[in-house]
Amino acid sequence: MKPSSPQSPVAKLALSVVHEPERALPAPSGAREEALRFLLQTAADAGVGLIATRPDGDGERQLGQAWPFPSPFQVTVRTVPLSEGLDRVEARARRSLERLGLPRGDTLLVSQATDLAGVDGRALWDRLKALKDRGLFRHIGFCATVEDGPTLLARRYQPDVVQMPGNLLDQRAHRTGILSELAGLDVAVHLSSVFARGLLFMSGESLPAHLAEYAPTLSRTRRRLAEARIDPMQATLAYTLGLPEVAAVVASVASAAEMRAILAAAHAPRPDLDWEALAFEQPAALAQSPGTAARRAISNAA
């Protein structure tokens, strides 16, 4: 699976649908279901082809009830942690397809690279390969961070897909050569956390405590973008979608309004920016989830 060079940036765009109520106004169950159908139809009409899912909560079932018909989407599924046992990992992957209402998925991802690095890593990978061989998933891979050493794991297991975080503030995957190395191994890279967990949209007063000391740095980044008349969503999508080694850019979205904002930003002309100058000096600090305030910031930005 080699990254392609699509004519439209939306061909690279993938979605992770957010179901938490803090990203949307409270609504009755029927209204939420209709809103989700509208979101998915909006994405389908725009040409988005990939949806990334998680096995936690009720999100898979909600998606399974809301797909457009016929559904144009391919779906990535994540495993539960290996600590729950090999049998549970396999059974839950099958269950994910049932909840999604799909006969097969596009990609099954080990949710934690550390599971593959442990003593049962090979046994876990063999379970994924068996599911692929049976036709339940077209591709298999794993989620990783820069610290996990994704290139070494890719050489060991030869995955089809590696998903890892990357955004305007955390450019390590690109700057350290990891993306190029994975592409050289014929691995399709899916970038996640492209909005830096909402930090691109937050004011200094709203930052979580562990990032409060970095408020001036984040403020300078936002000021540079404002001076260039580029909003943060447009900038980070331009950066991530413009990386030639990346096959998919996974953007979180909670509503059709957010979907339209993301589509508009993705289609905007690519700005002429010094991307490296916008990177965060200590990007590892961004890996900690900033919580509800940041998720609201994304919604407000849309």
Domain ranges in the chain?
9-301
pLDDT of 85: 97
Q: Among 3.20.20.100, 3.40.50.1370, 1.20.120.1690, 1.10.3720.10, name the CATH number for the domain at 9-301.
A: 3.20.20.100
Tokens of 74: 């391919």
State how far the Cα of 167 lies from the Cα of 191, in Å rounded to an integer. Answer: 8
Residues 6 or more apart whose Cβ sits within 8 Å of residue 250: 14, 15, 16, 50, 52, 163, 190, 191, 192, 194
pLDDT of 109: 98
What pTM does this model have? Answer: 0.88
pLDDT of 301: 53
Q: Could you give the C-alpha distances from 259 to 13, 34, 114, 251, in angstroms and in order? A: 11, 15, 33, 9
The Cβ-side half-sphere exposure at 215, using a 13 Å CA radius, reads: 11
CA 52 to chain CA centroid, Å, is 7
pLDDT of 222: 86
pLDDT of 219: 82
pLDDT of 253: 95
State how far the Cα of 258 lies from the Cα of 261, in Å rounded to an integer. Answer: 5
Tokens of 175: 């700057």
State how far the Cα of 55 lies from the Cα of 144, in Å rounded to an integer. Answer: 17
pLDDT of 24: 53
Q: Which residues of the chain have pLDDT under 50?
A: 1-6, 290-300
pLDDT in tens, 132-185: 999 999 999 999 999 999 999 999 999 999 999 999 999 999 999 999 999 999
How many CB atoms are closer than 10 A to CB 81? 16
Residue showing tokens 């890593």: 121
State how far the Cα of 113 lies from the Cα of 57, in Å rounded to an integer. Answer: 21
In terms of Cα–Cα distance, which of 99, 100, 97, 142 is closest to 117? 142
Q: Are 169 and 286 in contact (CB under 8 A)?
A: yes
Q: Are 291 and 208 in contact (CB under 8 A)?
A: yes
Q: Is the peptide bond before 70 cis (omega within 30 degrees of 0)?
A: yes
Tokens of 177: 């050569």
